[in-house]
Amino acid sequence: MKKHLPIILLAAAVLAGSCAGDGVRTVNFENSLKSKPDTVGIESIAQKIEKVELKCDSLYDITLFAVYDGRLFGKTADYKLVIFSEDGDLLHAYDRSGRGPGEYVWPDFSYDPYNHEILIYDFMNKVIRLDSDGRFIDEVRNSLTGVLGDIRAISKDRYAATKMSNTERDSSIIFLDRDLNIVGKALPIYNKSQLSTRGLIVSEPVLLYNSTYLFKPYGGHTYYTLDGAPYLHVELGRYAQPEDDATVVGANEANYLLENSEDICGDWYLAEFVYEKEMCLFFDAVNTRTGKRAIHNTYTEQDLENGEDQGFFFRYDGETYRISYMNFYVQDNVLYWSRFSDDGSTTIFKITLK
């Protein structure tokens, strides 16, 4: 399977979800491989679906990274910054590729709602701040910006960030001021993959789900709030890869469910895992409050050879699509999916989940 399926694809099959006695939500995957696949689509757990055509001629393959104040903030496949009205009218577009002030080479985009700024981390280089219309404000480059894994605004004068593994052993989260000076630390290392010297250096994200900032240590299976409280645990049982092997190239992965892409959208845990042993991907949705698994889609090697798209099934207006995590943006209980047409145009499906 590894030979044919891209490593960024994953599968998930959820057996049950529940809240543990301490209030931590849990989804259990251990016995899910025995479950019969279905063709139920994302629309089955939606309470509302809206469609927005992005109106632009020369901009293509647009994915969103934020939705605030009635505007859609996105990036094109070649990293142009674009801003649209909620009706899909183009408001601003910028090509900021380069190495000058306000320019970037390998950007990660996010939105700072506390200062109404666009925050760009140009990987291992600098942090750029733009106003909400995309105009350059300033940028910060120091010894820290070369080793950041991720950075997100958490208040008007604070950022939460991670550092590349193997650069700092005593903390997984650091807090920074507006000038990117360290002002605090939290979350001691939780698992062996972060301590391992056998594998790759990894970049860990700071995640925002349901208006709560979360952190999931690489190789681990529990999301934590930034004060260290467990939020959601994913139980894989005998299919969990040993933490020591999580960053090791060439580790035997065939017997494990390997996580690659996951989202928490309202009460729903949406995940992709790959199971190499059976050459299959699973795409599942489970309600973390009720334990109900609503979706168990599969993607096989035969589907790949047939040229089919991967992802969750999604039916709308008589058409059946596959929703890929590559084109997702989640905000609270709303999933924004970018569908690319052959002519390069982009349609945004705004899917509000129950």
Structural domains of the chain, ranges and CATH numbers in brackets? 16-353 (2.120.10.30)
Across 1-19, average pLDDT: 34
Across 330-337, average pLDDT: 97
Residue 189 DSSP label: -
Asked if residues 50 and 335 have their Cβ atoms less than 8 Å apart, the reply is no
Across 127-155, average pLDDT: 96
Q: pLDDT of 71-88, one tens digit each?
A: 999 999 999 999 999 999
- Which of 279, 330, 333, 337 shows the shortest CA–CA distance to 313? 337
Q: pLDDT of 303-315, one tens digit each?
A: 999 999 999 999 9
Strand ranges for 238-344 from DSSP E: 258-265, 268-275, 280-287, 293-300, 312-316, 319-323, 328-331, 334-340
Token look-up 């009635």 returns 70
Can you give the pLDDT at residue 239? 92
Can you give the pLDDT at residue 3? 31
Can you give the pLDDT at residue 7? 29
Residue 96 DSSP label: -
Can you give the pLDDT at residue 270? 95
Token look-up 């890929």 returns 324
Confidence of residue 9 (pLDDT cuts 50, 70, 90): very low
Across 40-54, average pLDDT: 97
Mean pLDDT of the chain: 88
Asked if residues 288 and 269 have their Cβ atoms less than 8 Å apart, the reply is yes
Can you give the pLDDT at residue 1? 34
Does an H or E element contain 111, and which? strand 107-112
Can you give the pLDDT at residue 168? 61
How far apart (Å, rounded) are the C-alpha atoms in residues 19 and 31?
Answer: 18
Pairing of strands 230-235, 25-28: parallel
Can you give the pLDDT at residue 31? 74
Confidence of residue 11 (pLDDT cuts 50, 70, 90): very low
> What is residue 42's three-state secondary structure?
helix
What are the respective helix, strand and coil percentages of the chain, to the nearest 5? 10, 45, 45
- Which of 221, 238, 225, 328 shows the shortest CA–CA distance to 277? 238
